[in-house]
Amino acid sequence: MKKRNKEIRQRMDEKNVRQWQVAEAYGMDEGKFSRMMRHELEGETRMLILTIIEELAAKK
């Protein structure tokens, strides 16, 4: 089975940012965020999450 949102997952791993941190910054419960990640994200949502990951990594 192909993992969805591979780039987002790789970026979180590379930047040592946890999914719960991204969910919190996005304003969403971790469980709901996890379910959202089951489907390929596109457009503004995808770009916003990648930006959040970069911002969280910069704060470390």
pLDDT in tens, 22-45: 999 999 999 999 999 999 999 999
Place of tokens 């941190």: 21
Is there a domain that residue 32 lies in? yes
Cα 7 to Cα 20, 22, 42, 44: the distances in Å are: 17, 14, 12, 15
Is there a domain that residue 28 lies in? yes
Is there a domain that residue 50 lies in? yes
Is there a domain that residue 29 lies in? yes
Structural domain count of the chain = 1
pLDDT at residue 51 greater than cutoff 70: yes
Is there a domain that residue 45 lies in? yes
Is there a domain that residue 1 lies in? no
The per-residue pLDDT of the chain, averaged, comes to: 96
Is there a domain that residue 44 lies in? yes
pLDDT of residue 1: 61
Range of the domain at 20: 6-59
Q: Once rounded to an integer, what is the mean pLDDT over residues 1-8?
A: 88
Residues 6+ apart with CB under 8 A from 33: 19, 22, 23, 26
Is there a domain that residue 37 lies in? yes
Q: Give the whole-number percent of the chain exceeding pLDDT 70.
A: 98
